[in-house]
Amino acid sequence: MPGFPTDGFLLDVSAAGAALAGSLLLGTIAARILRAVLSGRRARAEQAIRPMVLAVVSGGEAPAALISARGVRGRAAERIAFAYLAQVRGEAAAFLADLLARRGTVARLQRWTHSPRAHRRARAAERLGLVASPEAERRLAELVTGDHNPEVRIVATRALGKTGSAAAARTLLHSLSRPAPVPEGIVASALLELGPEAVPGLRAELAGGRRQRAMAANVLGLLDELPAWEGLVENAGSGSVEVRTSAVRALGRLGLPQAIGPVTACLNAGEDPALRAAAAYALGRIGDPRSVHPLAACLEDPHYWVAHNAAMALAEIGGAGVTALSLAAAGLGSGAAHAREALARRALARGERPAAPVRTDTPVQGGGSPVHTIAPAPASARGQAPAPAQNPAPAQLSASAEATAAGAPAGHQGPGARGSRQGR
Amino acid sequence: MTSVLVVDDDPDVCDLVTYKLEQSGFDVRRASDGDAALREVAKKVPDLVLLDVMMPGISGLEVLERWRSDETTAGMPVIMLTAKAQENDVERGFELGADDYVIEPFSPRELVRRVTAVLSRRQSV
d(CA B98, CA B50): 10
Residue A75 predicted with pLDDT over 90: yes
- Chain B positions touching A58 (Cβ under 8 A) are 19-20, 23, 108
pLDDT in tens, A22-39: 999 999 999 999 999 999
By CA distance, what is B18's nearest residue in A? A54
d(CA B56, CA B36): 11
Chain B residue with minimal CA distance to A91? B107
CB contacts, 8 Å: B106 with chain A: 87-89
Q: Choose the closest CB to B108 out of A92, A193, A195.
A: A92
Report residue B8: phi and psi, to 5°. -160, 140
Quote the pLDDT of residue A107: 95
What pLDDT is stored for residue A333 in this prediction? 85
Distance CA A325, CA A232 (A): 30
- The string of DSSP letters for A46-112 reads HHHHHHHHHHHHTTPPPPHHHHS--HHHHHHHHHHHHHHHTTB-THHHHHHHHHHHHHTHHHHHHHH
- Residue B105: is the preceding peptide bond cis (ω within 30°)? yes
Judging by beta carbons within 10 Å of its beta carbon (0-12, 13-18, 19+), is residue A185 exposed, middle or buried? exposed
- What value does the mean pLDDT take over residues A193-199? 91
Out of A84, A91, A193, the one facing B16 most closely (by C-beta) is: A84
Cβ distance A87 to B12 less than 8 Å, yes or no, reads: yes
Q: What is the model's pLDDT at position A239?
A: 84
Chain B hits for A163, Cβ within 8 Å:
none
* A89 interfaces chain B, CB cutoff of 8 Å: yes
> What is d(CA A376, CA A337) in angstroms, rounded to the nearest whole number?
11
The predicted structure's pLDDT at residue A2: 56
Phi, psi (degrees; rounded to nearest 5) at A308: -60, -50
Kindly tell me if the per-residue pLDDT of A253 is higher than 50.
yes
Q: Do A57 and B23 touch (CB under 8 A)?
A: no
**B105–A57 CB contact, under 8 Å:** no
The predicted model gives A406-411 an average pLDDT of 32
CB A357 within 8 A of CB A375: yes
Establish if A77 touches chain B: CB-CB under 8 angstroms: no
**pLDDT exceeds cutoff 50 at A415:** no
Specify the DSSP element, H or E, that contains A229. helix A229-237
Shortest distance, CA A159 to any CA of chain B (angstroms): 14
- Among A100-109, A371-380, B96-105, the minimum mean pLDDT is found in A371-380
pLDDT at A365: 39
Q: Hey, what amino acid is at B29? A: R
Q: Are A134 and A112 in contact (CB under 8 A)?
A: no
Q: What is the pLDDT of residue B118?
A: 95
Candidates A294, A234, A298, A229; CA nearest to A257 is A229
Identify the pLDDT of residue A61: 87
Q: How far is A229 from chain B (nearest CA, A)?
A: 23
Residue A355, sorted as left (phi over 0), alpha (psi -120 to 50) or beta, turns out to be beta
The nearest alpha carbon in chain A to B84 belongs to A193
Task: Give the mean pLDDT of A151-180.
Answer: 93
How near does any CA of chain A get to the CA of B112, in Å? 12
Q: How confident is the model at residue A4 (pLDDT cuts 50, 70, 90)?
A: low
Residue B104 DSSP code: E
Rounded mean pLDDT, A406-415: 31
ipTM of the complex: 0.89
CB B9 within 8 A of CB B33: yes
Tell whether the torsion through CA atoms of A262, A263, A267 and A270 is positive or negative. Answer: positive
Number of H helices, E strands in chain A: 22, 2
Among A19-28, A160-169, A255-264, B84-93, the minimum mean pLDDT is found in B84-93
Kindly list the residues from chain A whose CB atom is less than 8 angstroms away from the CB atom of residue B104.
87
d(CA A396, CA A124): 66
* Bridge partner list, B49: B5, B78
**What percent of chain A stands above pLDDT 90?**
70
Please state, in angstroms and rounded to a whole number, the distance separating the CA atoms of residues A345 and A351: 10
Determine how β-strand A371-375 pairs with β-strand A358-362: antiparallel
- DSSP helix/strand/coil, A273: helix
Whether A92 sits inside 8 A of B19 (CB atoms) is: no
CB B37, CB B76: distance < 8 Å: no
- A262-311: pLDDT as tens digits: 999 999 989 999 999 999 999 999 999 999 999 999 999 999 999 999 99
Per DSSP, what are the bridge partners of residue B80? Answer: B51, B101
User: What does DSSP assign to residue A138?
Assistant: H
Whether pLDDT at A388 is above 50? no
Judging contacts by C-beta atoms under 8 Å, the chain A residues touching residue B12 are: 80, 83-84, 87
The reply to whether residue B16 touches residue A91, judged by beta carbons under 8 angstroms, is no
Best residue in A54, A87, A197 to probe B by mutation, most B CBs within 10 Å? A87
Per-residue confidence band for A407, with pLDDT thresholds at 50, 70 and 90: very low
Pairing of the two strands B3-7 and B27-31: parallel
Nearest to A320 by CA among A296, A341, A302, A354: A296
* B107, A91 contact by CB (below 8 A): yes
The count of C-alpha atoms lying within 13 angstroms of the C-alpha of A283, restricted to the half-sphere facing its C-beta, is 34
**Cβ-Cβ contacts under 8 Å for B104 (sequence gap 6 or more):** A87, B13, B81, B82, B83, B84
Closest CA to A268 of A298, A227, A245: A298
Give chain A's end-to-end CA distance (angstroms, integer): 102
Phi, psi of A46 (to 5 degrees): -65, -40
Least confident segment among A122-126, A409-413, B1-5: A409-413
Distance CA A317, CA A285 (A): 8
For the segment A342-357, what is each residue's pLDDT rounded down to a tens digit?
999 999 998 888 876 6
Q: Which amino acid is at A28?
A: T
Kindly list the residues from chain B whose CB atom is less than 8 angstroms away from the CB atom of residue A91.
107, 109
Residue of A nearest to B19 (CA): A54
Classify domain B3-120 at the CATH superfamily level: Response regulator (3.40.50.2300)
Nearest residue in B to A55, CA atom: B19
Q: Which of A171, A174, A173, A182 is nearest to A147 (CA)?
A: A182
Residue A320 and residue A405 in contact, taking contact as beta carbons nearer than 8 Å: yes
> Are the beta carbons of B105 and A83 separated by less than 8 Å?
no
Confidence of residue A255 (pLDDT cuts 50, 70, 90): very high
Residue A50 CA to residue A46 CA, distance in Å, equals 6
Measured between beta carbons, which residues in chain B are less than 8 angstroms from residue A92?
Answer: 107-109
pLDDT of amino acid A8: 82
Cβ separation B16–A57 shorter than 8 A: yes
The CB density around residue A16, as the number of other CB atoms within 10 Å, is: 10
Q: Is the pLDDT of residue A372 over 50?
A: no
pLDDT at A359 over 50: no
Kindly provide the b/e burial profile for residues A288-311, where b requires at least 16 CB atoms within 10 angstroms of the residue's own CB: bbbbbbbbbbbbbbeeeebbbbbb
A374 and A359 in contact (C-beta within 8 Å)? yes
The pLDDT score that the predictor gives to residue A222 is 93
CA distances from A413 to A331, A354, A356, A422, B51 (A): 10, 17, 16, 13, 53
Across A107-118, average pLDDT: 96
Spell out which residues of chain A touch residue B110, defining contact as CB-CB under 8 Å.
Answer: 90
Counting as low any pLDDT under 70, the low residues of chain B are 84-87, 125
pLDDT in tens, A307-335: 999 999 999 999 999 999 999 998 888 89
pLDDT at A190 over 90: yes
Report CB contact under 8 Å: B16, A58: no
pTM strictly above 0.90: no
Percentage of chain A lying above the pLDDT 70 cut: 83
Residue A370 pLDDT exceeds 80 = no
Nearest CA in chain B to A50: B15
- Mean pLDDT estimate for chain A: 84
